[in-house]
């Protein structure tokens, strides 16, 4: 089967190409970049010289639909909302990596993204692609709203405890940390090497656009409207996200019991690994892979649960989960193309 | 005046030497390292070649007392408890950078440090050297227990709000992040370059020895016993600590009001800088300097206050604050030797 | 087919496991680590939790030979020389990643490694595993001396020009730079994070044990005894080697002509990519992959050729080339298990 | 005395402010930035909040001359050439950190900088500010062309051996490596964090504009026209330059003899430190300081001398040397304001 990739010069597109290159059933049919159409791929990315080199194409929904079986949109929020409807009309399956189809509420989108929302009809068709939680809906979806990087790490780490009645739902605090590749390839002083190296920086306090996305998922899964505290930090490394999350427990339970709960919750899920008691994952331990590793600790002094969830922001937080969703959509093993071990060190 | 430095091959000692080198009234009389006695300093630290080079001495309390006016102990916890009594007997002023004299409760020390505590008589004489909070006691102290790096950043960031009745004292969560130099020069897999670079790692969940130290100060300052949640992370950078701290507010107040409260609280304090609303400090902005910069944000959705406090762990978190305390003990301007601007980038 | 890996807790072994995990014909039968026998793999390497986890075994040549088809020795120099003879006696194929069987001259080994050489009989049987240059000998070898990381980058970059008579063979200068993972997982102050981060350091001037290895290959290929200047530097990054190499040209030739010469020389070689004129490779462009990328520049002002050759030290410089050699030994496509794209960024 | 700084939002200006802050006789009178005139300094550089904060001014040569005793131009090449003549007309002393007044030959400037050269009359008045080599000319200069970062490290490391007749002047190869701050604060993909971190990259092969500057100095000092090979590399760190330099010796001399030659050559120079035999400097050992540390090694196998010279590119390679030159111009101790120890680690 053939995949088209739109937004071909960003880090999301590059990672899709890397992963599809190893996919047993999928190959890259074409890569579209309006801004660099006509150029060869390896001019922007010499690491692909002589490998999957091909000229970048222009966006043309009909040609794409004729020659491909699925489209991955690695375009920014605000662009996907314009392209997806044109693609959907041709009947081709779409996986959108932007934030444009994730929020069911257009008001929320306008508030947090400060931009006009996508057409509501398409938002309604979109299935939120958190692969471990919504596999059945994903299998039959025509349009996947692929989750954000922070929401993936945060929600996978919180959902199991929220489905019990053991945690105070008003107590959730998410202290999130990300490598710099999450900010993309666009130039900015906050991605400028000398400003970021040897530096740790908090940003967008109380205003990050992933807040309503996380709240939507957690509210759905707990059945109760949830409001979170969410702080994001930029860490001097390229890849990796860690969410350190705090919840007050309603009753006294042990770390061992929480580990058992999580292990059981994810027992058939290939890409979520629950660490045993006393073992907390580090971001490097999932580098380059589609795993989400989760560590758990109950502090009996404060009766709070700490959940630590790590992913590679470009894999499970973007391109990897997109392919996992495509695998589900085509009825393949969800691990197809994603069975690489983490690269260590 | 002359200072002796004990523990001369660790990063704390090196930083003391750097700062004292610029001090108008203080100079390094001798540097003691039992493990490397007889060697020249520049064998361990070539960056000092030809500058303050001198042979490392052996520990001898009487010689030290005869030739110096103050002693800085940059020795590990468990070592200072043995050396300080010998020095105190000679009558010389001591500033101890270890954790051995910080906790008033010997039981707490044994619980968290898993080691025998110092002689209780000396613990009682020790003044906790958080310079901005206890300047009067420091001025007349014979022995300073210099605060830990995390406790300095955490307590300076929390005390102003705790002295009001506006925060829920049971709600304090401290998500702390540190550069790797905090772990010292001793070899360990958790300081091994290939394991730490491009990696973010949480460690010592619920068991860090700085927990009782922070709780002691916060309890003292608020007048109420306080228990905190405290998580430490290792960030791939050499210097810098950030504490991101969360408190539930008892009433609705604005970020502006909190900024005013903090600005007023620290109005005569040279080394604490409160950032205006919307401005959050990054660790690089205090690199190499004795500043503690604090940013504040009230999230009206959750009615939580987020405090972000940054220091250079080796300066305000260790050697710099030790010198600030010495300045107070000798009646000098507390900024003496510490007026370097942060080094940026 | 089944592979045994000896030296199972080093970075070389870990990288072998990662690559063999994706190999279509090879799987990891067992991993041997005398120092950690009995422990599970994931205790040392949590990134492998739940994946290829198994207990580490003890070294027993007969059991290894019975249950495996090939052995990879990721043991240090000085250890391999003792283990290889025991394994060879059983008739099993061996690929040794240490320096013990690379130098034909035992005197040279003693001089540069300051250690007793391996038994000369086994040295004579060993084939130097520079896959692109000695494929025929490798195919029939019983023992492969897998090349060092620096020698791989250096010799692949120099051999094409040395096989012409266009360069002054006495003029070769190799300025080499490596990431820190090349120093392995053993603790040392030169791999201590705070000493290496934000630092660039030259080491082992004129005394690096890879000097005689490079000279041996270059002398063989040029047919003339060659002596080189070789300087190694430690760069604050985990993976990657770059050799910047300088040769004086005997006659005036253009960059274009040199690019053509190299392109032609490596035209059927999957893992060597010659960049076009004006395009110089960076280490990140081969990260995680088995490629050796080479850039070329003739400076007409000085009539010197500059060759820049980059590899991932743990892949083409160690485990990847070892598997490439195994592929040749078994008659498989040399790319088997090695077709991953570089991971970028 | 008062200094004006032009080009106030670049890293050069920031470093001038940091160093002048500790100068006993000099203070910052005003900082000029046409692009950000009217803004406060700390908006661009929060690390200076509450310290030397002041509004950025517009460029006005007469006001500058009235209120200041010296001007430092931290403006880019192509800008200084326009501003310096206007300042010189007022009679104020100027230290220009750009490349505009370094090359005596306007043809060379046009060839390498691809830009129109400065007015020749001003070029003739400029004194090349390599403080250790031209102190007498600097003392009486009205305009200093402050040396480039690479030329400072390279020429200080080469001049002593070139003043003997022991080296082959046609054999000089300079393999140079720099931290990323050397590229300034302007945004570019080659300073983008995710592209540079964990990466080593060569750039501008044979075309770097510092080549004619180095050749001019070396030719002057040796009395013979010299052509060099010069390759620059970008290292994933913020500060630091290392030049690894190779020369063929005309006769056999020992490392010890070369160390003695260099030690003697620089015996009264505060900021050049010659390391003893067997001791090679690393960039971190001069971090934040004005030192240039030099290590030496003669390889008797090839009869080549390797010189390794390190500086902090923003201090001795820019702002520090500018102040050292100002000190000479005003007749002060050249160490004034520059006696900080390197910051380590």
Could you tell me if D243 and D121 lie in one domain? no
Check if the beta carbon of residue A209 is closer than 8 Å to that of residue D250.
no
* Contacting residues for C223 by C-beta, under 8 A, at least 6 apart: none
Q: Is the dihedral of CA B92, B97, B102, B106 positive or negative?
A: negative
Within a domain: B337: no
**Tens of pLDDT along D239-248?**
999 999 999 9
* Contacting residues for D260 by C-beta, under 8 A, at least 6 apart: none
CB pairs under 8 A between A and D: 57
* Residue numbers in A near D180 (CB within 8 A): 193-194, 197
Map tokens 């290829």 to a residue.
C52
pLDDT of residue D323: 98
- Pull the structure tokens for residue D305: 């001398």
Smallest CA-to-CA distance from D288 within D245, D252, D320 is with: D320
**Tens of pLDDT along C229-238?**
999 999 999 9
Could you tell me if C139 and C173 lie in one domain? no
D152/D147 Cα distance (integer angstroms): 6
The upper half-sphere exposure of residue B146, i.e. CA atoms within 13 Å in the direction of its Cβ, equals: 32
* Local structure of C42: helix, strand or coil: helix
Could you tell me if D154 and D300 lie in one domain? yes
* Residue numbers in A near C50 (CB within 8 A): 273
* Contacting residues for B56 by C-beta, under 8 A, at least 6 apart: B8, B9, B31, B32, B33, B36, B37, B38, B39, B40, B41
B179/B242 Cα distance (integer angstroms): 9
- Comparing CB atoms, the residue among A191, A198, A237 nearest residue D192 is A191
C-alpha distances (whole Å) from B141 to each of A88, B94, B129, B321, D328 are: 75, 9, 9, 15, 45
Could you tell me if A158 and A292 lie in one domain? yes
Cross-chain Cβ contact B193/C197 below 8 Å: yes
* Residue numbers in C near A275 (CB within 8 A): 46, 49
DSSP secondary structure string for all residues of A207-267: T-THHHHHHHHHHHHHTS----EEEEEE-SSSS-EEEEEEEEBSS---HHHHHHHHHHHTT
pLDDT of residue C41: 83
Binding-face residues of B in 155-214 toward D, CB within 8 A: 181, 197-198
- Comparing CB atoms, the residue among C14, C21, C344 nearest residue A47 is C344
Could you tell me if B202 and B140 lie in one domain? no
Burial level of C107, CB count in 10 A (0-12/13-18/19+)? Answer: exposed
- Comparing CB atoms, the residue among A22, A48, A181 nearest residue C340 is A22
pLDDT of residue B111: 97
Asked whether the predicted pLDDT for residue C152 surpasses 80, the reply is yes
Tell me whether B344 touches chain A (CB under 8 Å). Answer: no
Cross-chain Cβ contact A198/B240 below 8 Å: yes
Within a domain: B343: no
**Tens of pLDDT along A151-169?**
999 999 999 999 999 999 9
List the single residue in D with minimal CA-CA distance to A192.
Answer: D192
Looking at the predicted complex, does its ipTM rise above 0.95? yes
C-alpha distances (whole Å) from D155 to each of A337, B253, D147, D215 are: 54, 61, 10, 9
- Pull the structure tokens for residue B241: 């600590």
Within a domain: B33: yes
Average pLDDT over residues C289-317: 98
Map tokens 């906050």 to a residue.
A190
| φ, ψ for residue D203, nearest 5 deg | -150, 160
The upper half-sphere exposure of residue A157, i.e. CA atoms within 13 Å in the direction of its Cβ, equals: 36
Low-confidence ranges of chain D (pLDDT < 50): none
- Alpha helices, DSSP H only, in chain A? 11-20, 41-44, 61-67, 80-89, 106-113, 120-125, 135-139, 149-162, 193-196, 210-222, 255-265, 320-330
Check if the beta carbon of residue A218 is closer than 8 Å to that of residue A158.
yes
Check if the beta carbon of residue B175 is closer than 8 Å to that of residue B229.
no
* Contacting residues for D184 by C-beta, under 8 A, at least 6 apart: D10, D11, D12, D76, D191
B288/A112 Cα distance (integer angstroms): 37
Task: Point out the residues of D that are catalytic.
Answer: 149
pLDDT of residue C96: 98
Average pLDDT over residues C249-276: 97
- Pull the structure tokens for residue C240: 């990657």
B52/B27 Cα distance (integer angstroms): 10
Ordered strands of the D27-32 beta sheet: D27-32, D2-6, D70-73, D93-96, D143-145, D126-128
Q: Which secondary structure element, helix H or strand E, spans residue B19, and what is its range?
A: helix B11-20
Map tokens 């592209």 to a residue.
D195
List the single residue in A with minimal CA-CA distance to B235.
Answer: A235
Smallest CA-to-CA distance from D287 within C293, B287, A43, B3 is with: B287
Could you tell me if C124 and C168 lie in one domain? no
* Local structure of C103: helix, strand or coil: coil
**Strand pairing class (B2-6; A2-6):** unpaired
- Pull the structure tokens for residue D143: 């305009």
Could you tell me if C109 and C255 lie in one domain? no
Cross-chain Cβ contact A196/D193 below 8 Å: yes
The upper half-sphere exposure of residue C23, i.e. CA atoms within 13 Å in the direction of its Cβ, equals: 26
pLDDT of residue A50: 83
Tell me whether D237 touches chain A (CB under 8 Å). Answer: yes
Tell me the residue range of the domain where D231 lies: 150-312
> Which stretches does DSSP call E strand in C292-337?
292-299, 304-311
Asked whether the predicted pLDDT for residue A52 surpasses 70, the reply is no
C172/A58 Cα distance (integer angstroms): 48
Within a domain: A273: yes
Could you tell me if D109 and D92 lie in one domain? yes
Chains that touch C (3 or more CB pairs under 8 A): A, B, D
Within a domain: C182: yes
pLDDT of residue A105: 98
pLDDT of residue C52: 67
Cross-chain Cβ contact B173/A304 below 8 Å: yes
Check if the beta carbon of residue D192 is closer than 8 Å to that of residue A188.
no
**Tens of pLDDT along D87-107?**
999 999 999 999 999 999 999
The CATH number given to whatever domain includes residue A238 is 3.30.360.10
pLDDT of residue C42: 84
The angle at the Cα of C23, spanning C18 to C25, to the nearest 5 degrees, equals 145
The upper half-sphere exposure of residue C90, i.e. CA atoms within 13 Å in the direction of its Cβ, equals: 19
Residue A313, preceding peptide bond in cis (omega within 30° of 0): no
Could you tell me if C236 and C164 lie in one domain? yes
Cross-chain Cβ contact D341/B17 below 8 Å: yes
pLDDT of residue B52: 67
Number of structural domains found in chain D: 2
Q: Which secondary structure element, helix H or strand E, spans residue A95, and what is its range?
A: strand A93-96
Within a domain: D102: yes
Check if the beta carbon of residue B280 is closer than 8 Å to that of residue B310.
no
Count H helices and E strands in chain A, helices first: 12, 13
pLDDT of residue C36: 87
The CATH number given to whatever domain includes residue C93 is 3.40.50.720
Could you tell me if B204 and B296 lie in one domain? yes
Could you tell me if D68 and D194 lie in one domain? no
Q: Which secondary structure element, helix H or strand E, spans residue D312, and what is its range?
A: none
Task: Point out the residues of A that are catalytic.
Answer: 149
> Which among A59, A92, A125 is the end of a domain?
A125
DSSP secondary structure string for all residues of C110-148: HHHH-SPPPPHHHHHHEEE--TTT-HHHHHT-SEEEPPP
B200/C120 Cα distance (integer angstroms): 47
Asked whether the predicted pLDDT for residue A57 surpasses 70, the reply is yes
DSSP secondary structure string for all residues of D193-253: HHHHTT--EEESTTT-THHHHHHHHHHHHHTS----EEEEEE-SSSS-EEEEEEEEBSS--
A89/A80 Cα distance (integer angstroms): 14
Task: Point out the residues of B that are catalytic.
Answer: 149
pLDDT of residue B313: 98
Calculate how close chain B gets to D47, using CA atoms only, in Å: 4
pLDDT of residue B151: 98
Q: How does pLDDT run along chain B (345 residues), one tens digit per residue?
A: 999 999 988 999 999 999 999 999 999 999 999 888 888 888 889 999 887 667 899 999 999 999 999 999 999 999 999 999 999 999 999 999 999 999 999 999 999 999 999 999 999 999 999 999 999 999 999 999 999 999 999 999 999 999 999 999 999 999 999 999 999 999 999 999 999 999 999 999 999 999 999 999 999 999 999 999 999 999 999 999 999 999 999 999 999 999 999 999 999 999 999 999 999 999 999 999 999 999 999 999 999 999 999 999 999 999 999 999 999 999 999 999 999 999 999
B320/B251 Cα distance (integer angstroms): 37
* Residue numbers in B near A231 (CB within 8 A): 175, 244, 306
**Tens of pLDDT along D317-335?**
999 999 999 999 999 999 9
Could you tell me if C182 and C279 lie in one domain? yes
- Comparing CB atoms, the residue among A189, A198, A238 nearest residue D238 is A198
pLDDT of residue D227: 98
């Amino acid at each position: 089967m053939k995949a088209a990739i739109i937004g071909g010069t960003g880090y999301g597109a590059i990672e899709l190409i890397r992963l599809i290159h190893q996919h047993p059933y999928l190959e890259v049919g074409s890569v579209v970049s309006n801004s660099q159409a006509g150029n060869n791929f390896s001019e922007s990315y010499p690491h692909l010289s002589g490998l999957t080199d091909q000229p970048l194409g222009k966006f043309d929904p009909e040609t794409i639909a004729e020659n491909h079986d699925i489209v991955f949109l690695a375009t920014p929020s605000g662009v996907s909302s314009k392209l997806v409807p044109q693609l959907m009309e041709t009947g081709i399956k779409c996986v959108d990596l932007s934030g444009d189809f994730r929020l069911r509420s257009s008001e929320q989108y306008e508030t947090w993204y400060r931009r006009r929302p996508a057409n509501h009809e398409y938002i309604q068709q979109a299935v939120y692609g958190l692969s471990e939680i919504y596999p059945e809906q994903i299998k039959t979806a025509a349009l996947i709203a692929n989750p954000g990087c922070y929401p993936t790490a945060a929600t996978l780490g919180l959902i199991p405890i929220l489905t019990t009645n053991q945690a105070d739902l008003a107590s959730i605090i998410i202290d999130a940390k990300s490598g710099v590749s999450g900010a993309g390839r666009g130039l900015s002083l906050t991605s400028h090497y000398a400003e970021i190296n040897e530096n740790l920086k908090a940003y967008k306090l109380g205003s990050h656009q992933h807040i309503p996305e996380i709240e939507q998922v957690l509210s759905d899964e707990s059945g109760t409207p949830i409001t979170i505290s969410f702080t994001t930090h930029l860490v001097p490394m390229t890849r990796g996200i860690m969410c350190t999350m705090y919840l007050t427990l309603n009753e006294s339970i042990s770390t061992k019991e929480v580990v058992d709960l999580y292990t059981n919750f994810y027992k058939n899920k290939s890409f979520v690994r629950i660490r045993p008691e006393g073992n907390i994952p580090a971001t490097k331990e999932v580098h380059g892979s589609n795993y989400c590793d989760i560590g758990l600790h109950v502090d009996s002094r404060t009766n709070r649960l700490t959940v630590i969830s790590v992913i590679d922001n470009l894999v499970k937080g973007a391109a990897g989960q997109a392919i996992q969703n495509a695998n589900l959509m085509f009825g393949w093993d969800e691990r197809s193309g994603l069975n690489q071990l983490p690269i260590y060190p």
